[in-house]
Amino acid sequence: MKKNFAVIFAVVAAVLKAELIDYKDCGSKGAVLHSVYLHPCSKLPCTLQRGQNYSVNVNFTAEANIGELTSVAHALFEDMSVPWPLPDSNSCHSMNGPGCPLVTGHVYSTSISINVPQVIPQVRLVIKLEMVTTENLHEVFCLVFPAILQD
């Protein structure tokens, strides 16, 4: 009961502080995505300031029992996919409520921190976020969403 309350509280907190964003599932195999929020974001598409920190909150249901997880991000623009370093790629550290290992059928919320590097040009782009298994890099979820980078 306490775990369910913690997940509900985390989701409500995310909704109050963030913008529900339009995303596309790009091949999730181990989870069903429910919603994605970006904080801070006041309107869509979200305008991200270079040098600032953001949080992407993903709510999902696990479709498999999964141990350790890693988050991976890429910036997609002009037919290029550029790796986007994350401050903490260990997805288990970013779980709100029940953490790792994931259990089939349980609902989870994760908050992935993103720092927008100064070296990325001011441009419209697509951000790709994935959560993969640490041991063999099997994809748990994959999502993409548009953003605008500015100073």
The gap between the terminal CA atoms of the chain, to the nearest Å, is 44
Residue type, 43: K
pLDDT tens sequence across 77-132 = 989 999 999 999 999 999 987 889 999 999 999 999 999 988 878 999 999 999 99
72: CATH: 2.60.40.770
Length of the chain: 151
User: In degrees, to the nearest 5, what angle opens at C-alpha 57 toward C-alphas 93 and 17?
Assistant: 120
- Show the tokens assigned to 102: 């994931």
Cα–Cα distance measured from residue 105 to residue 140, given in angstroms and rounded to the nearest whole number: 13
Cα–Cα distance measured from residue 12 to residue 15, given in angstroms and rounded to the nearest whole number: 5
Domain that holds residue 119: 2-150
What's the structural domain count of the chain? Answer: 1
